[in-house]
Amino acid sequence: MIPTREECLRLMDAYGMLENIVAHSLEVARVALFLSTELNKKGQKLDLGLVEAASLLHDLTKTECLQTKEDHAQTGSQLLKGMGYERIGDVVAQHIWLCKEVDPSSVSEEEIVNYADKRVMHDRIVSLEERFSDLKKRYGRIERSRDYLERLQKEIYGIENKIFYILQMNPGDLPDLHLDRN
């Protein structure tokens, strides 16, 4: 079961998400949908409805987690699974860390949402390099967080290489998409 875009927007509204997190989620959805549509043209079999809904809802509980310090990937996933959105819950659970083995020849919805989230800083498309340097500035003061970010960064570069090898595109071509907005 996958909610429509309108249902997702209603849910985002109902959960009182901060405006900047809504703007971030809308941009993540745009990037994720663009990549998925292009990947499907190259023979991938991504479920576009799932990609869009999971992108829109990936930070559904982040606003409250800023207070409670809970892991919003986990609480968001549980909440969505509780609503019957099992697959969306799976994708949301992995939007920070991927826990599946990477298949070198196919791209999953989990990888797309995870990657799109890393390419959108606030509501702007950036390179992985820029996104991680911002994250390191914000969270990298503690050694453990720095190591964590290093591992995360390594993982996501592998996904980027796979996606753009299939697309025969340059990761830097994404900002053009941003300029085309409206």
List of residues contacting Fe ion (CB under 5 A): 59
Shortest separation between residue 41's beta carbon and Fe ion, angstroms:
28
**41 or 69: whose CB is closer to Fe ion?**
69
Task: Scan for tokens 């697959």, then name that residue.
Answer: 87
Q: Which residue is listed with tokens 């290489």?
A: 161
CA dihedral for 137, 143, 149, 154, sign (positive or negative): positive
Taking the complex as a whole, the smallest distance from the CB of residue 53 to Fe ion amounts, in Å, to 15
Q: Closer to Fe ion at the Cβ: 27 or 59?
A: 59
| Side chain identity, residue 162 | K
Question: For residues 59 and 110, which CB has a smaller minimum distance to Fe ion in the complex?
Answer: 59
**Residues 136, 150: Cα–Cα separation, whole Å:** 9
Give the residue at shortest CB distance from Fe ion.
59
- Which of 35/113 has CB closer to Fe ion? 113
Show Cβ contacts of residue 124 under 8 Å, excluding neighbours closer than 6 positions.
27, 178
Tell the smallest beta-carbon distance from residue 58 to Fe ion (Å): 6
Which residues, including other chains, have CB under 8 Å from residue 64's CB and lie 6 or more apart? Answer: 15, 16, 70, 75
The CB-of-117 to Fe ion minimum distance in angstroms stands at 6
